[in-house]
Amino acid sequence: MVYYRKYRPQTIADLDNAALRDRLTSLLANPEHVPHAFLFTGPKGTGKTSTARIIAKIVNCEENLYAGKGKNIEPCNTCSECVSITNGSSMDVLEIDGASNRGIDEIRDLREKVRLSPVSARKKVYIIDEVHMLTTEAFNALLKTIEEPPAHVLFIFCTTEPHKVPDTIISRCVHVAITKGSKEEVVGSLQKVVEAEKLSIDQEVLEEIARITDGGFRDAKKILEELASAAEGKTITLDLLHTLHHSGTGLVFAQEFMNTICVQDGEKAISLIENAAAENMDMGYILDTLLDLLHTQLLLHYGIGEGEMMEMSEEFIAYAVDVFSRAKGQMKYASVSQLPLELAIIELIPGDEKESEEEKEPASSVKVQSGKPNLTMMMKKQQHITFQQRINPPKPPVPVKKVSSEKSPQISVNHDITFMDNLIQKVKAVNNSLSGVLRGITLSDKTDDSLTFTTRFSFHKERLEESANYAIMEKAIREIMGKQMKFNIQLVK
């Protein structure tokens, strides 16, 4: 049996999501006030159907509080009702696929059967998965039954798209929003499987699986099973995970790709995409990784999280996110998988607006060599026009925050970057959050005894001018420059 089914939670305590455990315990504490209809919403693989089955066992268990025995609401998982629900043979717990039973005729049939008493259990439980797939007519037919169901009936609806469920249905259900698992929760879930299966695995592999599955417990267990099969009894390593899922490769690729975008090297960026396509890397995964990287960079700009900050302004990050998001939407319709990503490069690196005298010639006078027009020049000209017409603003944000050479010609860009890197590292050793603020400022002027920094945010200026933070900065600058220096923070537009 596959891991995600073999190790499916069977009690509330087994659920890996702590918030969900607390919510269910509260809702089910009193058997006399159990809701007659639940709506479970959340991303795929987070435990909606598993939770529905646990509730079905709780309300029908023969040995718990609901049976008048003790104070424990958990199912015993040993009585006949619990066993039959677990193995899917119960006549009173019906799981219905909303996608294949979405019409009004199927719902009318369900409505007629609802009236019948349970065969052996206390309650008949109807679990409708992907309920948002029901038609409008089917929802309308179900509405009255949900509003006033027989006492022996419990409805549990599950969906990944709650916005498609009519408000009239939602208002008659107790809504339980199931969130993605945290990194710690997913790792803990995988650790249970590792111990049960007696697998040999490096801890960083579990953490990387949690990262690439983005809080999905089912997907995480599926990847672990693939790794266990590929390892053939040997230790499961990070290299094996990277080989099977390009996870490490994808992150390295994203960093290298964004570095080429920052220095506006379009030729290298295109080359990287073509090489990735030749290695059969999934372009959708690459775009997801790029967006994840940009998200991390945006948080770092505001002092949130850990990691190395790339030389990108907040404006450029926002612009790149918009470009890559549109490319992701175009991916499903692209006959050449890498084409949307390559077109995104054109938007991010439009080229130099200063045209040579040759490029300014009208298309009708393009020189002909060996009987063929200079197509490269024509394409450049058309590309430039298309970019200007489609992008607003017409000129994309500059990736790197540059230093003004007019005010301080003695400070080179390379020196500025090195100084700021050193300053950030020294401050980070004392105050991590303050080092995050420093990533949002620029060294703009330097004299023999003073430094001037600029920022666009008053929040950064106020934080740095606080007496305690000013003292930390002052000490760090003295250690770098070898002497005491004053500094000030200026706001710029």
pLDDT tens for 210-266 read 888 878 899 999 999 999 999 988 999 988 887 777 655 567 778 888 888 888 888
pLDDT top residue among 121 and 100: 121
- Using a 10 angstrom Cβ sphere, with 0-12 exposed, 13-18 middle and 19 or more buried, the burial of residue 380 is middle
Residue 187 has pLDDT above 50, yes or no: yes
Q: Describe the strand order of the beta sheet including 153-159 as a list of residue ranges.
A: 93-97, 124-129, 153-159, 37-41, 174-177
The predicted pLDDT at position 31 comes to 92
Residue 65 has what DSSP assignment?
G
Q: Are 152 and 118 in contact (CB under 8 A)?
A: yes
The predicted pLDDT at position 14 comes to 95
Residue 298 has pLDDT above 80, yes or no: yes
Of 279-288, 296-305, 387-396, 460-469, give the lowest mean pLDDT range.
387-396
Establish whether domains 183-245 and 413-491 are of one fold: no
Residue 315 has pLDDT above 90, yes or no: no
Percent above pLDDT 90 for the chain: 36
Residue listed under structure tokens 């709780």? 58
The predicted pLDDT at position 419 comes to 80
The predicted pLDDT at position 109 comes to 87
Model confidence at 469, in pLDDT bands (50, 70, 90)?
confident
Question: What is the overall mean pLDDT for the chain?
Answer: 82
Of 110-124, 178-192, 293-307, 317-331, give the lowest mean pLDDT range.
293-307
Residue listed under structure tokens 């020049």? 377
The predicted pLDDT at position 407 comes to 39
CATH tag, 183-245 = 1.10.8.60
Of 75-79, 88-92, 159-163, 361-365, give the lowest mean pLDDT range.
361-365
- Taking residues 10-27, what's their average pLDDT? 94
* Half-sphere exposure in the Cβ direction for 195 (13 Å, CA): 6
| β-pair type (486-491, 450-455) | parallel
Model confidence at 159, in pLDDT bands (50, 70, 90)?
very high
33-64 burial by CB neighbour count: b if 16+ within 10 A, else e? ebbbbbbbbbeebbbbbbbbbbbbbbbbbbbb
The predicted pLDDT at position 405 comes to 39
The predicted pLDDT at position 55 comes to 97
413-491 folds as GMP Synthetase; Chain A, domain 3 (3.30.300)
pLDDT tens for 325-347 read 999 888 878 888 889 998 888 88
Sketch the domain layout of the chain as residue ranges.
Answer: 3-177, 183-245, 280-350+374-390, 413-491
The predicted pLDDT at position 434 comes to 77
Percent above pLDDT 70 for the chain: 84
pLDDT tens for 402-430 read 444 343 333 333 445 578 888 888 888 88
In terms of pTM, does the model score above 0.95?
no
Model confidence at 125, in pLDDT bands (50, 70, 90)?
very high
pLDDT top residue among 349 and 236: 236
The alpha-helical segments, DSSP class H, found in 92-235 are 104-114, 136-147, 167-170, 183-197, 203-213, 217-231
The predicted pLDDT at position 400 comes to 55
Of 120-124, 127-131, 295-299, give the lowest mean pLDDT range.
295-299
Residue 276 has pLDDT above 50, yes or no: yes
Model confidence at 362, in pLDDT bands (50, 70, 90)?
very low
CATH superfamily of 3-177: P-loop containing nucleotide triphosphate hydrolases (3.40.50.300)
What tokens does 4 get? 């995600």
pLDDT tens for 367-403 read 333 333 333 333 344 444 443 444 344 455 656 544 4
